[in-house]
Amino acid sequence: MMKHATLGNAAPKLPVLTEQNVESILVQHGYRLTRPRLAVISAALRHRHPFTAEQLVADLGTANGGAIGRATIYRTLEILAAVDVLTRLIQADGHPAYICDSPGHRHHIVCSGCGTAVAFTFCPIEELAPTLARDTAFEIHDHLLEVFGVCPSCQDSKRLPPQAHA
Amino acid sequence: MMKHATLGNAAPKLPVLTEQNVESILVQHGYRLTRPRLAVISAALRHRHPFTAEQLVADLGTANGGAIGRATIYRTLEILAAVDVLTRLIQADGHPAYICDSPGHRHHIVCSGCGTAVAFTFCPIEELAPTLARDTAFEIHDHLLEVFGVCPSCQDSKRLPPQAHA
DNA sequence: CACTTACTGATACCAGGTGTCAACAATCCG
DNA sequence: CGGATTGTTGACACCTGGTATCAGTAAGTG
Ligand SMILES: [Mn+2]
Ligand SMILES: [Mn+2]
Ligand SMILES: [Zn+2]
Ligand SMILES: [Zn+2]
């Protein structure tokens, strides 16, 4: 108990999930491999930072060659999250976003400057839950935890003198 | 360090903020005391559980005698939260709600059955933040934490044999 | 009481998201 | 392989929650 001198994996060592990986995961879960889904997958994997559903819609919408339906994009993202290829997180503005990181229970610290997110596996609620359950007599089922801040490189840029309205 | 054998105030001992209290708080902050605001305040204080802006709109909308404008209700809730009369929290469905409890930094455990929320003052992020900041080099500014579960009385009702579709 | 200025609320608008359902296309299977 | 099955698509209409506008109203002040 109390062993979080360091966090699970604050360092960015992504296992770099490939499209093939994701495709086989979908098949394993009984989903069909369709052209629109493949498009969503590759678009999602292309993002290094959290992205919203509407961003993907922009990526794949009628604007670009794709023309994948909005509904399909939303549906596919839901599936990818259910299959743990994507994690859904809540941005500081309260809107949901998706991020592609290694599977499992995670929380994120998200930069309000550039959107960079760093995941961590240490979950403070695990530690807190028993006490909380005892004190409140609630059955604890779930939780929501996001941390917001400014990443190192955005800290640096903020130190620069303000530009002339550029 | 590490003294959360018990939580701040899991027991429901509300100081029962009165309308007069709230009114004077608003005045102290330089807000005018208008008829619509008074209506919103009393409607808000009437709720013992978290409520959404749209719920208040229903309470005070053209349906009832009130007819307070939607925009006004949203604006007033924002003010009341800014003045720390209300706390804004995120429901399990991701949507924001307001709850009236004593001021200060709080988190809530919310019952997904009946909506009952119990606040607690212990914030696990405080403990976590230094480590997290060191490991990620982020500047930590804010966080979002909600716990979801089932309250004692909803646990009981779930134990009852299922009704005949009543 | 009259004046200033904060506040209101109708309206129009917006973003994000969901339900429908006929057309379509992966996959299966013979 | 070609056809049947059934999951999937996407246009569309629709919805909820929330915001911008701005002429009109009414708190507060002296
Ligand atoms: Mn957790
Ligand atoms: Mn906290
Ligand atoms: Zn950043
Ligand atoms: Zn309950």
For residue A89, give the ligand nearest its CA.
Answer: 1
**For residue B159, what pLDDT is reported?**
76
pLDDT at A154 over 60: yes
Q: Does A158 touch chain B (CB under 8 A)?
A: no
In this complex, the residue of B137, B140, B148 whose CB is nearest that of residue A147 is: B140
Q: Is B138 in a helix, a strand, or coil?
A: coil
**Mean pLDDT value of segment A75-92:** 96
> Which nucleotide lies nearest residue A57, CA to C1'?
C16
pLDDT at B8 over 80: no
**For residue B126, what pLDDT is reported?**
95
pLDDT at A6 over 70: no
The β-bridge partners of A76 are none
pTM: 0.86
Q: Which domains are assigned to chain A? A: 4-165 (1.10.10.10)
Q: How many residues does chain A have?
A: 166
pLDDT at A31 over 80: yes
Q: Is the CB of A74 under 7 A from strand C?
A: yes
> Which nucleotide lies nearest residue A33, CA to C1'?
C26
Q: Which residue has the higher pLDDT, A62 or B100?
A: B100
Residue whose Cα is closest to the C1' of C18: A71
Residue A127 token pair = 């530690």
pLDDT, one tens digit per residue, over B116-166 is 999 999 999 999 999 999 999 999 999 999 999 999 999 998 777 665 554
Mean pLDDT of chain B: 88
CA of A61 to C1' of D29 (A): 57
Q: Measured between CA atoms, how close is B20 to chain A, in angstroms? A: 31
The top-scoring range by mean pLDDT among A29-43, A99-113, B64-78 is: A29-43
**For residue B12, what pLDDT is reported?**
53
Q: Which of A142, A147, A151, A158 to mutate to test the interface with B (most CBs of B within 10 A)?
A: A147
pLDDT, one tens digit per residue, over A85-142 is 999 999 988 999 999 988 899 999 999 889 999 999 999 999 999 999 999 999 999 9
Q: Measured between CA atoms, how close is A10 to chain B, in angstroms? A: 6
